[in-house]
Amino acid sequence: MDAIVLGGGLMGTASAYFLTRRGVRVTLIERGRIGAGATVASFGNIRRSGRHLSQLPLAARSLAIWNEAETLLGRDVEFRPTGHLRLIFDADSLQDMRSYAQAAQAQGLVLDELDPAELHARFPGIGPDAIAASFSPRDGSANPRLIGPAFAYAAARAGASVIDEAPVSDIRSTGTGFTVETAKGTFHAARLLNCAGAWGRAIAARFGEDVPLETWGPQMAVTEPLPHRIAPVVGVWSQAHGAYLRQVERGNVVFGGAVDRVRVEEEPGYAKPDPARLPAQVAAVLQLVPALADVAIIRQWSGCEGYVADALPVMGPSGTTPGLFHAFGFCGHGFQLGPGVGSAMAELIATGQCETPLEDFSITRFAA
């Protein structure tokens, strides 16, 4: 093989797909089931607004792929560009939004500012106490349960070898490439891409690269099915960790945020929601849509996510080992970026360069 991709979440499966499209022979190795880690626990948010400015070129690259996903993958992954609405409840947040919008416009992201009258006319029943809102009309959501398997299937159809339920026992550099020993055999390749998510830090550490990363789980829940009334993804523009929600086409309202994440041990990496935090989370959700007050909540869940100390991901070549590349640590907001990450890493690995700027995400920023 020309390349081994470690990690069968959205980043890994998208990377395997785009590498294969470039003629690179790929083996994709996942310790569990494809798409069953942090990806499937995601909210499904396709959001550019509020991202660190350095991420916006990558987010734009990714959005272009989301818009073509059904054609590329041969199946509907439920990407819907319904728009992303962020409610504003105080003057400081309004000023912060305006400053961000001005800076982001240079990166091609245009945010519409809505006053209360415009907000209530366009989105009745949402944010009745909001003093303003931002709206990003081209953003939206997709189904986290569908996207990882869809990329993996498309990669396999294009010629990639996909190996799941294959825990890794050893990884080493051979001087001419890499050897990865797993429960399903030993694999060799000239290049290695670390897309192991919350476990990416441990893989990087094998090659002398330490990343200040911790593992946490979001608090997510979903309601019973309801008549469909909420078109956009809804969140809050605030320095605090606000609530967010979206209504899927089947009628359920998925929500998260507003409360602290749950600490998750890296091994075995199983995240569990804390039911004691649900009342505070529901109260925050009702500030966004009061009509949800009497709705039944049918499920809670969490997932193991990797959060880097500076809140930016790790992407690009290793600083210590030729042929090694990283794409992990997306801090709970990598879902939108996933297809773009796969495309960018494939370009970098196949050609040695990338048209999308990745310098701010280099692992070498943590070198002593």
pLDDT tens-digit series, residues 37-48: 778 888 999 999
Q: Specify whether the CB–CB gap between 187 and 29 falls below 8 A.
A: yes
Which pTM does this prediction carry?
0.94
Kindly state the percentage of the chain with pLDDT values over 70.
Answer: 100
> Facing residues of 314 across strands?
328
SS3 179: strand
What pLDDT was estimated at residue 188?
97
- Per-residue confidence at 262, pLDDT binned at 50, 70, 90? confident
Mean pLDDT within 183-191: 96
Count of other CB atoms within 10 angstroms of residue 285:
26
Nearest to 56 by CA among 47, 69, 45: 47
> Facing residues of 269 across strands?
none
- Per-residue confidence at 101, pLDDT binned at 50, 70, 90? very high
Q: List pLDDT tens digits, range 60-85.
A: 999 999 999 999 999 999 999 999 99
Q: Specify whether the CB–CB gap between 92 and 139 falls below 8 A.
A: no
DSSP string, 209-255: ----EEEEE--EEEEPP------SEEEE-SSS--EEEEE-TTS-EEE
- Per-residue confidence at 268, pLDDT binned at 50, 70, 90? confident
Q: 261 is written with which tokens? A: 């994440």
Buried-exposed string 12-46: b where 16+ CB fall within 10 A, e elsewhere:
bbbbbbbbbbeebebbbbbbeebbbbbbbbbbbbb
